[in-house]
Structure 1
């Protein structure tokens, strides 16, 4: 009986999905061209059309060429949808989904989350199911005040309609809003677009798995993720659906701390989903072999959504995407490092207390004084558990040595083994109502991210909590700090309630932006009062629109990629850094700030000499150079190994110092051009089929090609040279591209090359 009912529903849905034939006698394809505003730095505008023969949406560039077109309203779409967010990020079960141009689901979703541990706020598993309906025919086409509004009937027996509104927006883009009315009962809305045969999709924020996400499912949901399989990798590689060497525990290879719901297409446009709710992009992953296999699709939890499309070649599309989203602010030159960080040891018999930590800080300062390493700053994260006079005196010592000081703060309070804040901070937040609450009105506690203890998220929608936070930030600055790490931000659960009426459903992704915006406003006020330019860097982040209050990138100077593991892995170790850095850079978050040596060492070996050196070299020609490593096995400083390590570290810290003016110049230029300091080869050489596949190399500005060694034991590096002449600045050897060469790379060598005739640093 169930099969008969499903068949009948399918036939009914198919019969209702007829093509829309416009009653006008005008051409089938009609559109309106909207010019960009006078202040828009990008000249080319994007046109919005619809195709009356299929009622599909269409976007054109200034020359009238179609760059993006929705799928026709699918007569073969599934009448019943079923999607499973499989446990542990696997991908084994088929998805029943409609690849109609616009569809929606009447049903429900469940997404239970991790309630404790390092993955608080991650989706544990999930499912959605319901009846699917599609747009059927165009009922009304109106235009007023620059807004084009299309109203469609649907095959929904409840009589719902779909409304599409389009208007010109920032950076020469088109903003499109789609809604189902009435919204009651609608659990998700889906948009499907035609995918060109060789189209590539770049971006989506800090993803480790690939530069090109074609063929991948990409979830738009912030999740703590930087834990690969480590020594268990061979076993993971053969498990079905875990996607091999890029697998991340516990939510799969696409998950990320820093999420951008947008991308650059190799076919002439960029796309940004302007929605903070849970969304899933399926970039050509439908496996039915039919028309849907040539489509990409995004589904969003809710009855409405909004997106922007900006036409342009890959450089212009990238500039528009970062312009819409917002770009990392140019920091003061001293903030690019090099920096030495003293983390606090948290696990085992050798875990730090205040006394052992103070002794280590004093030892570090003595080593820096004796070795005279070319560093510009020192960070001590556990400052808050120390006597205030010790912190103040340490900062005075650092100032006398010509070093900047960095402290630490996080978005939640807790009683745990992290030892980064005083226990009374937790009590104060509870007693004064500064935390997110349960539906019953009690403070919402979760199991500590450090396994032992409890924590609570600070409610930044509460003005009193914001004032309290301001006091905590100003305390660091009044002690003399020049900067700080602003940690976490991804640990918001769906059932959390906030003072402004928001819940975790809408605030999970938006929370880091709010968090960073509050801090930026404090620092901007402080700079006006004192003239001091404070540098802070973050962990979690999300996309948005700079013109409408911003994304995380609008308020940050820099962002570190979460807790990389102390290994060579493609999932979360040193080999994951390049893809992560380049994916987020094209969306404007280009102040990449890696942990030299790796941080998570729960199941991986302690940072080795070789790994420390190769990581040092990797960071030397990245935006920010910062030693920061080991969660549980003890920090590895340059002097923790041997004299050779110290000297190699000295060499590459000095290289970063020499490169800093060039990095800052390209960073500042990016505020106008929209191009990041670190650039994927696909961006600079989009017509070179070999260049676009390079995911372990990058361009620094226009003139520097960087190819670090990320493979254990390697003393050679295969380097792809794009078109042109390239010179090794150390031995003056020249290479002509396009070509691939084996370059000698002993332990003391970072392969990098200048464009012949240039002298960047």
Structure 2
């Protein structure tokens, strides 16, 4: 089968002996099935699914497990038998393998892929805790990632007790059942149901699928960059980010009309500002979690009270080259103005036992869930809300939030099983936003950013953000997780990622420190988009305009971010052509060094800049791995370092950043120190 973009043909084939057969991809072994050790096991599931405010508890007690004990090959397929009865069929189609339980009541498929000694695997979507997945199990189910995400911490224990909200290392807004291997092959499960990538056994890569049939797609290349390009071909490619998004910081403020006055302080301090993001544009409500938005996405009485004359303000900002950004999500508050219109149009998911909208508790207020399995609903939301209320009023970008909350106990217009639609929902949500942007001929100009995703979101969402990190340095939910998120998602064709500069979640006395705000600026400057956030409890936390020192910090790093725009523009072009992410794990450029395979606390920005943010509280030095051959030049001192691991000084205001002296953009990088000192 010839792959896209002229790459080498892919050969997927079976080979057999008397009591075993193997599946090969271009000379690389994918799986080995033996009568004594079957590669496929099926069972009947017995699931339990519980959801509370986007947090899920999913358990299973499968029964009647069947392990095939014989097989027969038939052309491009195989039939597996148990006690003489045909139980599973394997069929080849191009570069894909179709696995079917012949009795559809067997709705659990466990497939065991070949693993070699020392083989490293990555992928799984946007993973927050681990870049290399070896030794762990990763359920594929979009959800809230949790607060704390570490069962050994007091914060996680408190949040678990308050509503299953603590999370674990594998919880993510954006899972994807795709993994890449250091043998430079990739395996993708093309189903949307609940599944698990299990790498706890060093001898096999196990995939568990909650279905009676599953399709697996395979990709092979001669190195990781070509492999990432193939995956980007498969899942879709984002348009290049517009100049405005990469040439200055987006300042996030949510204090109503006073946000405009506060923005002037950022500008007066010398900040390079490309946008003002006011997520409270449609009004607010107060809850015990903090100040929440009023989920009724239009300019009405609440928005006019909070932002008098907003449309005129947007025009005034545009004249100064500053974009206005807003917020939207796929739910409508029951007490909002748009709820009745949506209900009358049949746009909500329905209760199981009536034609009433299924309501979800989002934390002291209930909302209807838009049924995006219905084409009319996708078009209604894209036109009525995003088109008329946002784009037509001059809004140039927005956070397209949530997407993970589709319950499993409701009815969908297309009749699909919510267990299969749940993971698909973020992709449909992205499609709605992209449809609205395209309807106004704004693709590549207007930018929305999402945290939720699943396989195929790449084709619709132009920019990821890493979700709601805690305002701290903790290992599994703090500042460092945004690096892992960008690197893991980037391997699956998501070229652009960024984070809430300053963090988001502040609960149970966990508040921002000045050190955290400064360190997050240092990290955010070296991402394609730099955007601040005031967090869920802005009144309890430091903000970048809380003191002259913090304001100056933000201004200096925003200028660094803007200064790098020519380089970032070139990287955007490369991403458009090849699918390569802007923030890259070291092994992507240096695949022959296995020591780099698990490095997740530093990254290459393109191929020529190396960024090693400080993500440990109180640290003023850190170890930095400099890969490859030839020297790396320290951006702030000009000192050259040989390849290898070095302990590098990292005081606040000077995180370790290096560049290759022979790089085409070396003169640009050499000017970074001067920009920072201005």
TM-score normalised to structure 2 length: 0.88
SS in 2 for 1:423: coil
Native 8 Å contact 1:109 1:128 kept in 2? yes
Write out per-residue CA displacement over residues 297-316 of structure 1, whole angstroms, 9 at most, x where no aligned residue: 11101110001111223332
Which residues of 2 match residues 744-759 of structure 1 at below 5 A?
744-759=649-664
- Deviation for aligned residue 1:393: 2.0
Structure 1 residue aligned with 2:441: 527
Unaligned regions of 5+ residues in structure 1, if any? 1-33, 76-99, 143-147, 169-173, 243-247, 287-292, 345-356, 416-421, 544-550
Is 1:370 the counterpart of 2:268? The answer is: yes
Structure 2 residue aligned with 1:187: 107
Structure 1 residue aligned with 2:289: none
Is 1:325 the counterpart of 2:203? The answer is: no
The 1:370/1:315 distance shift into structure 2, 3 A limit, reads: closer
- Deviation for aligned residue 1:216: 0.4
Which residues of 2 match residues 430-449 of structure 1 at below 5 A?
430-449=343-362
Write out per-residue CA displacement over residues 579-632 of structure 1, whole angstroms, 9 at most, x where no aligned residue: 111000000113112000101111352222110110011111112110013102
Native 8 Å contact 1:200 1:266 kept in 2? yes
Report the structure number with the largest CA radius of gyration.
1
Q: Distance in 1 between matches of 2:435 and 2:602?
A: 36
Structure 2 residue aligned with 1:137: 70
Write out per-residue CA displacement over residues 118-164 of structure 1, whole angstroms, 9 at most, x where no aligned residue: xx2x431411321122344344513xxxxx2x24142167x343222
Unaligned regions of 5+ residues in structure 2, if any? 284-302, 669-678
Structure 2 residue aligned with 1:669: 574
Native 8 Å contact 2:192 2:421 kept in 1? yes
- Deviation for aligned residue 1:49: 2.1
Native 8 Å contact 1:67 1:268 kept in 2? no
Is 1:297 the counterpart of 2:188? The answer is: no
Structure 2 residue aligned with 1:722: 627
- Could you say what the CA RMSD is over the residues aligned between the two structures, in angstroms? 2.5
Is 1:163 the counterpart of 2:89? The answer is: yes
Structure 1 residue aligned with 2:287: none
Query: Which of 101, 104, 126 matches 2:39?
Result: 101
- Deviation for aligned residue 1:41: 3.4
Q: Distance in 2 between matches of 1:236 and 1:532?
A: 40
Q: Distance in 1 between matches of 2:171 and 2:444?
A: 37
SS in 2 for 1:366: helix
Q: Distance in 2 between matches of 1:460 and 1:434?
A: 8
Alignment length, in residue pairs? 636
- Deviation for aligned residue 1:233: 5.0
Which residues of 2 match residues 7-46 of structure 1 at below 5 A?
34=1, 36-37=2-3, 39-43=4-8, 45-46=10-11
Deviates more, 1:43-52 or 1:259-268: 43-52
Q: Distance in 2 between matches of 1:443 and 1:52?
A: 59
Native 8 Å contact 1:74 1:101 kept in 2? no
Structure 1 residue aligned with 2:317: 398
Is 1:59 the counterpart of 2:24? The answer is: yes
Native 8 Å contact 1:337 1:625 kept in 2? no
Native 8 Å contact 2:29 2:114 kept in 1? no
Structure 2 residue aligned with 1:205: 125
Native 8 Å contact 1:271 1:307 kept in 2? yes
Q: Distance in 1 between matches of 2:474 and 2:377?
A: 40
TM-score normalised to structure 1 length: 0.79
Q: Distance in 2 between matches of 1:491 and 1:338?
A: 33
The 1:659/1:226 distance shift into structure 2, 3 A limit, reads: farther
Query: Which of 497, 503, 511 matches 1:606?
Result: 511
Write out per-residue CA displacement over residues 498-545 of structure 1, whole angstroms, 9 at most, x where no aligned residue: 1111231111001111111122122112107xx9831111121001xx
Structure 1 residue aligned with 2:279: 381
